[in-house]
Amino acid sequence: MIYFTGGVGAAFDLSSKLTGGEGHDYEKKDTKVAIKINARNCDSCTVSGGVQALFDGKTNTMFDLEAKSEMDIASSAAHVDIDVKYDTRKIHLNHISITCGDDINSDPSMILLKGRNADDEAWIDVHDEINPTWGGRKQKKDFYFNNHNSYLEHRITLMKKVDSEKMVISDIDMIQSITWSLAAETHYKLMGIQFFSPSIIHPKTGFVIGTVANPSRNFVVSVKILPLGKVSGYGSIYTFRDDPMSKSNYAYPGDRCPALYFFPDRYGFDASIVDKTGVKYHRSSTNWLAQNVESTVIIKVIGDFLTLHVDGGTIGTVATNLSDRVQFDKLYAFTSGNVRDNAANVKLTNLRWTNVEE
């Protein structure tokens, strides 16, 4: 159950969303998400709607912070902190979805996201969104950010606009993010297939879409790619690497495991992996994809070869011996990467990693 302290609370049953099963002990524990809501720097402020409005997924229920005094209405510091703590396992966030209210003047002036792993730790900045905008009223918007860390507790800070009496939002998808993360991990443990969130993404440099725990040295990476335009220089589509902070390109086995790029000004591919003997490429400047036409692109690293496939056909092969490939504890999946500046101008759908028995 979710337990809420401070203000109006409600309970959501997470346990019914988890599959359980042998070897998944964390799923058998009481699943507790503690939520605290506190108004700050606003002595006259009142909070209404509470956790029910924030996390029920409905656009007709509103959470609002209302300032009563002239001083608090004029304040640039009035805000509300929403602390969400799931103490069973750490959660990785790379985006957050927020649904706005019905008045643009009551939208938050800033959204801040922080994380920490213990009550006595300082909050660590994850993302800030200044002057967020929505396409319409009561509209859901995804805010994406570069973050490779996972935390037990997250704080969402919503700042009230200067000279506005209220700050109003309709919904935040934190509970969905937690349940999706747990379901994806359970599926990976059972099936050896790792899904990533969001399922649809336009690559940007440094964006970590997820991680793969204890990946096999034999694996398949698949994704649907919709090209939207060519870029000068190599266009990075995705990179799996063991060190999210490293700027090394292909000096070490963990730098590319694997990586996929477009050729400069082309829809030809540069597919690569780094093993103990060095970097192994398949490169082809042929335009294998067509603009605005979606194709399924698969890299298979099985046995002693990397093969590249487009819409079921094999377009390239390069040798990489199984004995030369490193067994990693974890890989970070980047779309596009954290080394080259150019992100490919594409839409990626349903990126997934599948372990294959060695």
Per-residue pLDDT band for 14 (boundaries 50, 70, 90) equals very low
Q: What angle do CA 218, 186, 198 make, to 5 degrees?
A: 80
* pTM of the full structure: 0.90
- Span 155-179, pLDDT tens digits: 999 999 999 999 999 999 988 888 8
* Burial of 90 from C-beta contacts in 10 A (0-12 / 13-18 / 19+): middle
Q: Do domains 2-178 and 192-356 have the same CATH topology?
A: yes
Q: Check: CB of residue 19 under 8 Å from CB of residue 28.
A: no
* pLDDT reported for residue 339: 66
pLDDT in tens, 312-338: 999 999 999 999 999 999 999 999 877
Beta bridge partners of residue 130, listed in sequence order: 110
What CATH number does domain 2-178 carry, 2.60.120.260, 2.60.40.10, 3.30.1490.190, 3.30.70.1710?
Answer: 2.60.120.260
Q: What is the pLDDT of residues 116-141, one digit of tens each?
A: 999 999 999 999 999 999 999 999 99
Rg (CA), the chain: 23
Using DSSP, state whether 144 is helix, strand or coil. Answer: strand
Domain range summary for the chain, segments of one domain joined by +: 2-178, 192-356
pLDDT at 27 over 80: no
What CATH number was assigned to the domain covering residues 192-356?
2.60.120.200
How much of the chain is helix, strand and coil, in % rounded to 5?
15, 45, 45
pLDDT at site 31: 62
CA distance 59 to 263: 44
